[in-house]
Amino acid sequence: MKIITTIILFFSLNAVISQTSVSGIVTDESNTPIPGANVYLDGTYDGGSTDLNGKFEFNTSETGAQTLIVSFLSFESYMLTKDVKDLSGVTIKLKEDINSLGSVILNAGTFSAGDNSEAAVLTPLDIVTTAGAAGDYIGAFQTLPGTSTVAEDGRLFVRGGDANETNIYIDGLQVFQPFSPSANNLPTRGRFSPFLFKGTNFSTGGYSAEYGNALSSVLLLNTIDEPEEEKTELQFINVGLGGGNTQKWGKNSFSFNAFYLNLKPYQNIVDQRVDWINPYESISGESVYRHQFDNGLLKVYGGFTYSDFELNQKDINVPQGINFYLKNRNLYLNSSYQGDLGNDWSIISGVSFANDNNAIAIDNMDVDSADNSFHLKLKFRKRYSNRFKINYGVEQYLTNYQEAASSPDFETFESDYTSNTTAVFTEANIFLSKKFAFQTGIRGSYNSLIQDYKVSPRVSLAYKISENSQLSLAYGDFYQLPGQSVLKYETELEQEKSSHYIANYLYQKNGRMFRAETYYKTYEDLIKYSTEMPQFDSQFNNNGEGFAAGLDLFWRDNRSINNLEYWVTYSYLNTERDYQNFEGKATPNFAAAHNLSVVGKYFKEEWKSMISATYNFASGRPYDNPNSSGFLAEKTKSFNSLNLSWAYLISPQKILYVSASNVLGADNIFNYQYSNTPDVDGQFARTAIRQPADRFFIVGFFWTISDNKNDNQLDNL
Amino acid sequence: MKTLITIITILSLHFAFGQSTYEKGMTQAFELWQEKKTDDAANLFERIARAEKENWIPFYYAAQVHITASFNSKDAKEIESRLIKAQDLVNEAKTFSDTNAEVLILEAMLNTAYVVYNPSVYGMTHSPKVDKLYLQAKQLEPENPRAILYHAEWQMGAAKFWGKDPKAFCPEVEKAILYFEKESSDVPFYPQWGMNQIERIQANCKS
C-alpha cells in the first residue's frame, strides 16, 4: 500500500515538475499580429489568449504528440499536431474565413434583397412597405436602378430589354406565368403574395450559368424554410378580402392563404378612364408544405388563380371601341428538395409545373389557349473547401401550347407547338482570398423545336479595394427562345442572343451604401417579322440587333436621420434596337433615357406610424408619329408620380393601412395611338395612352391572430 | 478489501482532481470576466467547453460573455461577429441539452441584442423570436426567475411603445423575486444570475 501511494505521489510530483512551455505568435496572412486569439491543446484545459502583439505562452503537463488549436472570430481555425516539446516559439498564420463578415461579394449585376445578408439593398420590410408598390412583390424592385418605369405594364423592364427578357424563379425553378393577365395598357401584378418569401436576388445582368432562357434579367425568389410560429392572418381591403393560416407540427409546417379581389365597388366610386363592363375580379390561393428531414428539406408550393374581366377598349380606328373579355385559370406547382449527401456533396433538385388556360373574346373573335409547362432541375454541389466550390446541373424544360381562334369571318384556326429544352451547366466559385473572388461557368442548351444548340460562358469577379469598397466585373452570353406569339407560327428560327459587360463599384459603411454600375450590352439575332403583329402569314427572321449602354446609381442611407430610411436610384439608359416590325434601329417606346426614384420611410414612434413616400421620374419616352418622317423619333412628356402610404399600428396585431398613388394627379402619357388613315388635311389623328385613373387609393385593415401577441403583418403591406 | 479501498481512493482522488480542474478553470474564467478581460474570459470558457465535452455550462457562459460584450459595443462589425459567435456557442450548448430553459433564455437575450443593435433590420424578424423563446423557457420551467423577469422586461418595453401601462407586468416581477429566493441547484456553476437586475426593472413599477 505504501509503495502504491509513493508511486502515485511520485508520478504526480513528476507531472508537476515536467511542465512543458508552449509558446509562439499568431498573425494573419500579411504578418499582422492577431490579439485575443484562443490557443489551446485539444482536449485539455491548457491554453491561453494571445496578447496585443499576437504572442501566447502557457505551460502544460501533457507529453507526447498533441494538437494545438488556434481560433479567432472571422478566421479559419488552425490545427497543428506535434510533440509538445516542439511547440515552443511556433509562428502561426491564420487564414481569413471567407464565410465571415467583410468578405468580398460577387455582386456585379445583382441586387440581393429581403434577407439580412451584407449586400442586401432592400430589407424584408422594404419589399412590401414601399409606397406605390401596393403589396405587389414586384413593385419594390421597380425602384431599383437598371429598371425602367413602364407604369402601364407593371412588369420588369431591365436595361433596354422588354418585359419578356426577365425570368422569375421560385426556389430555383421557373415560374411560367408570374403575372396576372391584363388588357393592353393596363398594369398587371405579380401573382404571389409577399409573405411566403424571404431572401430574393434580382439580377440586372451577368447572372449565373444556372439560369438560362432570359436575355436581360432573372428574379430569384426563395420561399421561407421554416415559419416562426402558428398564426392566422386576415386582410380587409377596399378592393378585396383575404386570409391565411400557418400550422406547425413535428418536422412539418403548412401555410396557406387565399385572396378575393373585386375592383367593381371601387370603380363605381372612383372615376376611371377605362370603360369597364365587368371590372377585374380574381380569386387566388397559395399553399406551402415543408418537411424537414435529418439531412434535407422538402418544400411543396402550389398556387391557383382564377380571374376575369371585360371592357370596351378605346381605339382610334374603331369609334365604338373594341370589346375585350378575358378569363384566365392558372395552376402552378413547385416542389424542391435540398439535402446533404455527405462528404461535402449536396443536392438541390426540383420540378415545377404550370397549367395556364385563357379564354379571350375580342369583339366576335374567340381565342382559347392552353399552356402546359414543366421545368425539372437536378443540381449537385461539391464543396472542396470554404474557398472552392463547384456546381453541376442538368435541366429539362417542356412546353406544350395550344390555341384555337374562331370567328364568324373565318374558320377555326388552330395552332400548337411542343418545345423541349435540355440544358447542362457547371460553375466554379473560387475565393483566392477574402479580398479576391471569382466565379466562372458555362451553360449549354439544346431546343428540340427549333433544333438549335447554344453554349454560353459566364464570368464574374470581385476585388476588395479597401475595407469598405470593392470593384466587380462580369461578362456573359445569354440566349432566349423566341416567344410564344412567334413560335406558334414559325419554328425555322434561332435563339436570340445578348452579351453583357458589367463593371460595378460598391461602397458600404455603417448603414450607408453607394453602388455604381456601368454596362454595355449587345443584342444579336433578334426576331423580326413583316406584319404589325406576328400572324400566320408573317415572314419571320433572326436579322434583328441592338445595344444598350448605361449607368446605374444607388444610394441608401439608414443612419443619418433617426428613424428615417431612404434610397435614391438613378439610371441612365442609351439603347437602340431593330426588332419585331421596326423600320430600322430605334429606341423602343418602353425605354426612357433617365429614370429616377426616391423612396423614404419614416417611423414615427409617438404616432405608431410608418409613413412612406416614393417619387418616380422618367424622362420622355419615344413614340412614332406618322405625320413626321422619322421612325420612333418623337418623345412624350416626362413621367412623374408621387406615392404616399401610411401604416398605423392600432395595437400590436392590428394595422390600418392607407395608400394613394400619384397623389399630385400628374396626367402621365405613355404613348400615342395614331389613326390608320389620314384625315382630310392629310394628317393622322391620335389619342394619348394615359393612366387608367389618375390616382389609386387603398384602405385596408390587417389583423394577425397568434399566441405571440407582438407579431403583425407590417412586413407584408 | 485493502485493494478495493485503494482503488476507490485513487478513483475518487482522480475524480476530485478532475472536478477541481473544472472548478478551478471556471472560477478563473469568472474572475477574468469580472476583471473585464472579456476575450480572455470567453476564450477560457470555450477552452473548458471543448475539453469537457458534453457539458453545456461552459458553452453557455462563453456565449453570454459575447452577448454582454455586444451590448457594450458600438462597432457594427464587432457586434455582428460577436453575435454570430454567440449563436454558434448557443447551438453547441443545445446539442448537449436541447430542452434547457436557461439556454433558451440566453438565446432570447441574443435575439434581443440583434434588435437593440439594429431595430430597422432585425426588429421585424427577431422580435417574434424573443417572445417565442421566453414562452418556451417558461413552459419548460414555469418557476424559472430569469425567464419570468426578462420576459416581463421585454413586455414592459413593448407596452411602453404601445402607450400601455408597463405596470401590468409588475406582478410578474414580484413572482420572479419569489422564485429567485427559492432558487438552488446542486450543479456547480448552474446559472443563477439576474437578481441584481430587479431594482432596475422595478423602476418601471414606480410613479
A18 or A29, which is more confident: A29
- Asked if residue A442 has pLDDT above 90, the reply is yes
- Asked if residue B17 has pLDDT above 90, the reply is no
Q: How confident is the model at residue A128 (pLDDT cuts 50, 70, 90)?
A: low
Strands in A47-49's sheet, in edge-to-edge order, are A47-49, A38-41, A65-71, A78-83
pLDDT at A223: 87
Interchain CB distance below 8 Å, B161 and A605:
yes
DSSP-based helix, strand, coil % in chain B, nearest 5: 80, 0, 20
pLDDT at B1: 54
Alpha-carbon dihedral sign for residues B104, B107, B109, B114: negative
Candidates A560, A573, A417; CA nearest to A483 is: A417
CB A349 within 8 A of CB A378: yes
CB A553 within 8 A of CB A516: yes
pLDDT, one tens digit per residue, over A377-423 is 999 999 998 889 999 999 999 999 999 999 888 888 899 999 999 99
Alpha-carbon dihedral sign for residues A575, A576, A578, A583: positive
CB A223 within 8 A of CB A197: yes
Please tell me whether residues A168 and A264 are part of one structural domain: yes
Please tell me whether residues A86 and A128 are part of one structural domain: no
pLDDT at A123: 65
**Any chain B CB within 8 A of the CB of A510?**
yes
CB B137 within 8 A of CB B150: no
Q: How confident is the model at residue A549 (pLDDT cuts 50, 70, 90)?
A: very high
pLDDT at A654: 85
Domain annotation covers residue A432: yes
Name which of A11-15, A139-143, A298-302 the model is least confident about: A11-15
B149 or A110, which is more confident: B149
Domain annotation covers residue A119: no
C-alpha–C-alpha distance, residues A36 and A27, integer Å: 11
Interchain CB distance below 8 Å, A102 and B77:
yes
Please tell me whether residues A521 and A590 are part of one structural domain: yes
pLDDT at A53: 92
Please tell me whether residues A611 and A679 are part of one structural domain: yes
C-alpha–C-alpha distance, residues A523 and A576, integer Å: 10
What is the dihedral angle through the alpha carbons of A260, A717, A172, A390, rounded to the nearest 10 degrees? -170
Interfacial A residues in 318-337 facing B (CB < 8 Å): none
A149 or A554, which is more confident: A554
Please tell me whether residues A380 and A528 are part of one structural domain: yes
List beta partners, residue A503. A473, A518
Interfacial B residues in 136-165 facing A (CB < 8 Å): 158, 161-163
Domain annotation covers residue A239: yes
C-alpha–C-alpha distance, residues A143 and A113, integer Å: 12
pLDDT at A11: 47
As a whole number, the mean pLDDT across chain A is 88
Q: Which residue of B has its CA nearest to A3?
A: B6
Q: Which residues contact A679 (CB under 8 A, 6 or more apart)?
A: A685
pLDDT, one tens digit per residue, over A668-679 is 999 999 999 998
Nearest by CB: B132 against A47, A116, A228: A228
**Any chain B CB within 8 A of the CB of A83?**
no
pLDDT at B6: 56
Region B109-115 average pLDDT? 93
Please tell me whether residues A58 and A160 are part of one structural domain: no
Residues of B in contact with A125 (CB under 8 A): 120, 124
As a whole number, the mean pLDDT across chain B is 85
pLDDT, one tens digit per residue, over A569-605 is 999 999 999 999 999 999 999 999 999 999 998 888 7
Please tell me whether residues A662 and A531 are part of one structural domain: yes
Name which of A91-95, A110-114, A171-175, A179-183 the model is least confident about: A110-114
Q: How many CB atoms lie within 10 A of CB B3?
A: 9
- Of A76, A94, A112, at which residue does a domain stop? A94
pLDDT at A714: 55
pLDDT, one tens digit per residue, over A490-506 is 999 999 999 999 999 99
Q: Which residue of A has its CA nearest to B23?
A: A45
Residue A430 belongs to domain spanning:
124-314+330-407+416-481+496-716
C-alpha–C-alpha distance, residues A706 and B2, integer Å: 67
Candidates A369, A390, A394, A371; CA nearest to A381 is: A390
Residues across chain B: 207
Nearest by CB: A101 against B51, B81, B120: B81
Task: Determine the distance in angstroms separating the CA of A188 from the nearest CA of chain B, rounded to an integer.
Answer: 29
Interchain CB distance below 8 Å, B6 and A4:
yes
- The CATH number covering residue A467 comes to 2.40.170.20
- Of A94, A115, A145, at which residue does a domain stop? A94
pLDDT at A339: 94
CB A547 within 8 A of CB A522: yes
The angle at the Cα of A670, spanning A668 to A671, to the nearest 5 degrees, equals: 135
Q: How confident is the model at residue A647 (pLDDT cuts 50, 70, 90)?
A: confident
Q: How many CB atoms lie within 10 A of CB A700?
A: 21
> Which three three-digit cell numbers place residue A536?
400566320
User: Number of helices and strands (H, E) in chain B?
Assistant: 9, 0
- Asked if residue A268 has pLDDT above 90, the reply is no
Domain annotation covers residue A161: yes
> Which three three-digit cell numbers place residue A421?
429544352
- Alpha carbon distance, N-terminus to C-terminus of chain A: 81
Task: Determine the distance in angstroms separating the CA of B146 from the nearest CA of chain A, rounded to an integer.
Answer: 19
Domain annotation covers residue A163: yes
Q: Which residues contact A207 (CB under 8 A, 6 or more apart)?
A: A109, A110, A217, A218, A458, A476
- The CATH number covering residue A29 comes to 2.60.40.4130
CB A613 within 8 A of CB A568: no
Interfacial A residues in 222-241 facing B (CB < 8 Å): 228-229
Domain annotation covers residue A269: yes
- Please give the C-alpha separations between residue B169 and each of B102, B157, B202, in angstroms, as whole numbers: 21, 10, 10
**A387-401: string of b/e by CB count within 10 Å (b at 16+)?**
bebebebebebbbeb
pLDDT at A224: 84
Nearest by CB: B51 against A37, A44, A49: A44
Q: How confident is the model at residue A14 (pLDDT cuts 50, 70, 90)?
A: very low
**A635-652: string of b/e by CB count within 10 Å (b at 16+)?**
ebeebebbbbbbbebeeb
**Any chain B CB within 8 A of the CB of A711?**
yes
Q: Give the three-state DSSP class for A105.
A: coil
**Any chain B CB within 8 A of the CB of A685?**
no
Name which of A88-102, A378-392, A420-434 the model is least confident about: A88-102
pLDDT at A273: 87
How large a percentage of chain A has pLDDT more than 90? 55
Q: How many CB atoms lie within 10 A of CB A229?
A: 16
Please tell me whether residues A54 and A167 are part of one structural domain: no
Q: How confident is the model at residue B9 (pLDDT cuts 50, 70, 90)?
A: low
- Asked if residue A114 has pLDDT above 70, the reply is no
pLDDT, one tens digit per residue, over A692-717 is 888 888 898 888 887 666 556 555 45
Domain annotation covers residue A115: no
Q: How many CB pairs under 8 A join A and B?
A: 88
Which residue stretches of A429-562 are H helix? Answer: 484-487
List beta partners, residue A125. none
Please tell me whether residues A565 and A629 are part of one structural domain: yes
Structural domains of chain B sorted by starting position, each given as residue range(s) with its CATH number in brackets: 5-205 (1.25.40.10)
- Asked if residue B18 has pLDDT above 60, the reply is no
Alpha-carbon dihedral sign for residues B195, B197, B200, B202: negative
pLDDT, one tens digit per residue, over A221-232 is 888 888 877 888
Interchain CB distance below 8 Å, A101 and B84:
yes
**B44-77: string of b/e by CB count within 10 Å (b at 16+)?**
bbbbbbbbbeebbbbbbbbbbbbbbbbeeeeeee
pLDDT at A422: 97
Region A350-361 average pLDDT? 96
Name which of A194-198, A269-273, A323-327, B148-152 the model is least confident about: A194-198
Please tell me whether residues A64 and A190 are part of one structural domain: no
Please tell me whether residues A74 and A136 are part of one structural domain: no
- Of A53, A78, A94, at which residue does a domain stop? A94
Please tell me whether residues A554 and A663 are part of one structural domain: yes
A698 or A12, which is more confident: A698
- Please give the C-alpha separations between residue B44 and each of A38, A46, A351, B52, in angstroms, as whole numbers: 8, 9, 50, 12
pLDDT at A15: 46
Name which of A54-68, A441-455, A538-552 the model is least confident about: A54-68
Domain count, chain A: 2
Q: Where are the beta strands (DSSP E) in A467-531?
A: 469-480, 496-509, 512-529
Domain annotation covers residue A1: no
Type of residue at B131: D
